[in-house]
Amino acid sequence: MADIHVAPHLIDGKQTAEDIKVEIAAAVVKLTATGQRPPHLAAILVGHDGGSETYVRNKVLACERVGYDSTLLRFEDDITEADLLAQVGALNDDPAIDGFIVQLPLPKHIDAEKVIEAIRPDKDVDGFHPMNLGRMVAGLPALLPATPSGIVELMARQGIKTSGQHCVVIGRSNIVGTPVSILLAKNLETANCTVTLCHSRTKNLAEIVRQADIIVAAIGRPEFVTADMVKPGAVVIDVGTTRVTDANKKSGFSLKGDVNFAEVAPLASRITPVPGGVGPMTIAMLLLNTLRAATGAVYPKA
Ligand code: NAP
């Protein structure tokens, strides 16, 4: 992997996320110098899913790095929906908590939508609450979903031209594909794309993706995007992170993106690696949302 990280056309999400964390840490120092307490992020983790454990651990570690307080609340996967909703209510009411996340996926007996809707919008630092999604669509200040806003921020900071470009997004989930397609179509200098949103029912998918100046792949199918689907010179943003068995890794698995990197990288003008592309940006944007929640930047504090 060492050669990948020096390739000039690689989009280094890890470094960009580090830059953002340094900026956030400086903002925290300023905040605490005025006598305010540091921002406080809480995370609810239900069960023992390996991926979720890793994501939450990384989020908590990132909080420490920028000087936030963090609280991790763990529950077994037999917690009832009512008990989980009560925990959400307690975090909503706790003035010492600025923002919190409920790590997804949740066990099948819990209605994730109900849990998300129970989170107070001004503490919804994942940006999944319908109030935040609605405000985002309307172009009003909102806590934006972290992965989509991370993709926009990554392209902006890497100097990737988006205005007027045709962006094909593959995948229409509420947490990645749909919101990123909306953000990229906004009348903003860091967006202004012409967006096509594809999904599992899209006809002639390869033909459509081949027309893209920018491809955002968010489907969760390892190496789905192959060279024949990519116009030479396209920018390729790979959101996919699927765990696949890998006997060469101590952990026993490695992360695979939705793009066949070996085939597509030589064609692309810029491309994100997996890992080290979009993933670190998601955490950086979660931290940024927490700072915005703590300072009342979106929803003024009462
Ligand atoms: P999801 O909820 O499972 O949605 C997948 C989307 O892909 C759906 O819209 C689905 O279409 C579409 N799709 C599936 N197979 C397809 C095919 N053959 N052709 C066209 N479209 C297809 O997934 P998600 O939560 O958006 O996550 C997608 C990937 O991103 C996963 O690997 C996930 O781990 C990763 N992810 C990474 C980060 C990060 O920080 N790096 C954050 C979030 C997610 P239908 O709607 O028609 O079913």
188/159 same-domain check = yes
Q: How far apart are CA 165 and CA 147, in angstroms?
A: 20
pLDDT of 302 reads: 75
208-218 pLDDT, tens digit per residue, is 999 999 999 99
Domain count, the chain: 2
198/109 same-domain check = no
126 catalytically annotated: yes
For residue 21, is it within any domain?
A: no
Residue 16's closest CA among 295, 297, 298, 288? 288
181/264 same-domain check = yes
CATH number, position 82 = 3.40.50.10860
For residue 7, is it within any domain?
A: no
pLDDT of 257 reads: 97
In this predicted structure, the answer to whether residue 301 has a pLDDT above a threshold of 90 is: no
pLDDT of 7 reads: 59
105/205 same-domain check = no
For residue 189, is it within any domain?
A: yes
Residue minimizing CA distance to atom 40 of ligand 1:
279
pLDDT of 8 reads: 63
246/156 same-domain check = yes
95/154 same-domain check = no
In this predicted structure, the answer to whether residue 25 has a pLDDT above a threshold of 70 is: yes
Distance set, CA 24 to CA 20, 47, 125, 127, 273 (Å): 6, 31, 15, 19, 24
Ligand 1 atom with minimal separation from the 177 CA: 26
Please tell me whether 171 is known to bind a ligand: yes
- Residue of 59, 98, 123, 213 marked catalytic: 59
121/237 same-domain check = no
What is the chain's mean pLDDT, rounded? 95
Rounded to an integer, the average pLDDT of 251-268 is 95
36 catalytically annotated: no
Rounded to an integer, the average pLDDT of 57-70 is 96
Q: DSSP assignment of 242-276, as one string?
A: EEEE-TTSTTSEEEE-SB-HHHHTTT-SEE--SSS
* Ordered alpha helix ranges (H), the chain: 13-33, 50-66, 81-93, 112-118, 130-138, 146-157, 177-185, 205-209, 261-264, 278-294
Q: How far apart are CA 208 and CA 221, in angstroms?
A: 18
Q: What percent of the chain is predicted at pLDDT more than 90?
A: 94
For residue 286, is it within any domain?
A: no
- Residue of 103, 238, 256, 258 marked catalytic: 103
Please tell me whether 74 is known to bind a ligand: no
59 catalytically annotated: yes
User: Side chain identity at 115, as an amino acid letter?
Assistant: V
Please list every protein residue whose CB sits less than 6 Å from any atom of ligand 1: 147, 170-173, 175-177, 198-202, 205, 218-221, 239-242, 278-279, 282
DSSP code for 165: -
Rounded to an integer, the average pLDDT of 17-41 is 97
For residue 28, is it within any domain?
A: no
Ligand 1 center to 296 CA (angstroms): 32
User: Side chain identity at 160, as an amino acid letter?
Assistant: I
pLDDT of 4 reads: 45
Residue minimizing CA distance to atom 39 of ligand 1:
279
Where a domain ends, among 135, 166, 187? 135
201/269 same-domain check = yes
161/128 same-domain check = no
112/84 same-domain check = yes
In this predicted structure, the answer to whether residue 6 has a pLDDT above a threshold of 60 is: no
Residue minimizing CA distance to atom 2 of ligand 1:
173
105/233 same-domain check = no
240 CB contacts (<8 Å, ≥6 apart)?
A: 217, 218, 219, 220, 221, 222, 224, 256, 257, 258, 259, 274
In this predicted structure, the answer to whether residue 73 has a pLDDT above a threshold of 60 is: yes
Place of tokens 């529950």: 75
In this predicted structure, the answer to whether residue 3 has a pLDDT above a threshold of 70 is: no
Residue minimizing CA distance to atom 35 of ligand 1:
240
For residue 16, is it within any domain?
A: no
User: pLDDT band for position 227 (50/70/90)?
Assistant: very high
162/67 same-domain check = no
Ligand 1 center to 67 CA (angstroms): 33
- Residue of 98, 122, 126, 238 marked catalytic: 126
For residue 26, is it within any domain?
A: no
Domain residue limits at 86 = 36-135
pLDDT of 50 reads: 87
Ligand 1 atom with minimal separation from the 51 CA: 34
Q: How far apart are CA 291 and CA 68, in angstroms?
A: 9
CATH number, position 211 = 3.40.50.720
Residue minimizing CA distance to atom 31 of ligand 1:
220
Where a domain ends, among 77, 107, 135? 135
In this predicted structure, the answer to whether residue 20 has a pLDDT above a threshold of 70 is: yes
For residue 5, is it within any domain?
A: no
